[in-house]
Chains A and B, each alone.
Chain A
Amino acid sequence: MVLFYILLAFMIIAAIIAIETRDLLSSVVSVSAIGFIGSLIFLILQAPDIAITQIVVEVLALIILIRATIARDLTTIAEGREFFGTVVCVAVLLVIALATVRAADALPVFGRPAFASIEGSPSQIYLRQGSRDTGAANLVAAVILDYRAYDTLGEATVLFTSIIGATAILRSRTVKALQEPEA
């Protein structure tokens, strides 16, 4: 539990550095540090599936962001902040923080999800009958590809549609750039 709080503190520090630093590249690196620590936390909470997904997506996102950052050649930001914008920001954040504190009172205790105490809730049925119903040893796969396969279909559709959109928008430039020999 102490380790958990230390990692959380690291995440918050990395987030503050990502916002406050003037160098865009170190900001990108700090953002990906948040993701890597998040993956570590998932691993400690015994969720290896989501930890693997988090870390591989984080690596790919880091590569894309760094390449985009280097290509833009816009590595430092030296503008000051507006006074009015800061005041509005702080006010909105205060309201959200108060609402969060109120909402946190209603949350179940950490590590004891509400469904664990309700008899016959979906998660308990999955845990009890999952491998018998689907034959899969990995219950996460049983849930996302059998019990909740519609979610996965929706996710795949979102990815597919966004790729089609990106390809259609960037198509002419890409074809041009790929036809130039090693341009």
Chain B
Amino acid sequence: MNDRGMSIIVKTITGPVKVLIFLFGINVILFGHLTPGGGFAGGVVLAGSYVLLMLAFGKGYAEQNLPTSLASRLDCIGALLFATVACLGAILAGSFFVNFLYQRYLPGRLLDLVSAGTIPLSNLAIGLKVGASLYLVVVMLSVFGKDTADKV
């Protein structure tokens, strides 16, 4: 199996397409409280852009762009951010997961980007978490599959 990536056609197309996929993922995450989508779907799209990079240019290139140590750190940051938002609700408004930003500090207007209080923050956290962890899953499983194939 050629691990250094695919043909020149795939590599050339991947150049602009990966940017579009990444931006689409960010769009889906940031506008999750206004349009269909949200943290989970956007995170999977973000992971998909790096998986495309990995398939087209080989594992080493993707590893240079997003090392697995950084990915696992992003995963933990996302989980921590989500838990922090939940705990801040408990501290500032007296109840776990209460939408304290919307109810007390930053009501915002319906259909504005800055609205809905903690929901965009939670979307961001889940997007980070899901994107990083799904990228890790793909890296781990592809290495695992190759390893066992070599042995058999």
Q: A residues touching B (Cβ–Cβ < 8 Å)?
A: 48-49, 51-53, 56-57, 59-60, 63-64, 67-68, 70-73, 131, 134-138, 140-142, 144-146, 149-150, 152-153, 156, 159-160, 163, 166-167, 170, 173-174, 177-178, 181-183
Contacts and interface: CB of A to CB of B under 8 A. Distances in A.
A182 B119 CA distance: 42
A26 to B, nearest CB: 19
B97 A56 contact: no
Given A68-B145, A70-B1, A170-B143, A134 B116 contact: yes
17 contacts: A49-B36, A49-B37, A51-B36, A52-B41, A56-B44, A67-B142, A68-B145, A71-B148, A135-B102, A135-B115, A138-B33, A138-B35, A145-B39, A145-B118, A156-B129, A177-B147, A182-B4
B111 to A, nearest CB: 5
A146 B97 CA distance: 7
Nearest to B63: A178
Interface of B: 1, 3-4, 28, 32-41, 44-45, 47-48, 51, 55, 58-60, 63, 68, 72, 75, 79, 82-83, 86, 97, 99, 102, 107-108, 110-111, 115-119, 122-123, 126, 129-130, 133-134, 136-149, 152
Nearest to B117: A135
A87 to B, nearest CB: 33
B72 A138 contact: no
A109 B58 CA distance: 51
Given A67-B145, A137-B34, A160-B79, 20 more contacts: A51-B36, A52-B36, A71-B142, A71-B149, A73-B149, A73-B152, A135-B110, A135-B116, A135-B117, A135-B119, A136-B34, A136-B116, A142-B116, A146-B119, A152-B126, A153-B82, A156-B79, A160-B133, A173-B144, A174-B140
Contacts of B119: 134-136, 141-142, 145-146
Contact of A166 (B48, B111, B137): B137
B3 A182 contact: yes
Contacts of A52: 28, 36-37, 41
B126 A163 contact: no
| A-B interface, 9 closest residue pairs, ranked by CB to CB distance from nearest | A48-B36, A71-B145, A136-B116, A149-B97, A56-B44, A136-B33, A135-B116, A163-B133, A53-B41
B136 A167 contact: yes
B138 A60 contact: yes
Chief secondary structure at chain A's binding surface = helix
A176 B141 CA distance: 14
Given A59-B48, A174-B143, A138 B36 contact: yes
A63 B55 contact: yes
A141 B32 contact: yes
A137 to B, nearest CB: 5
B122 A152 contact: yes
Nearest to A170: B140
A173 B143 contact: yes
A135 B129 CA distance: 24
B44 A60 contact: yes
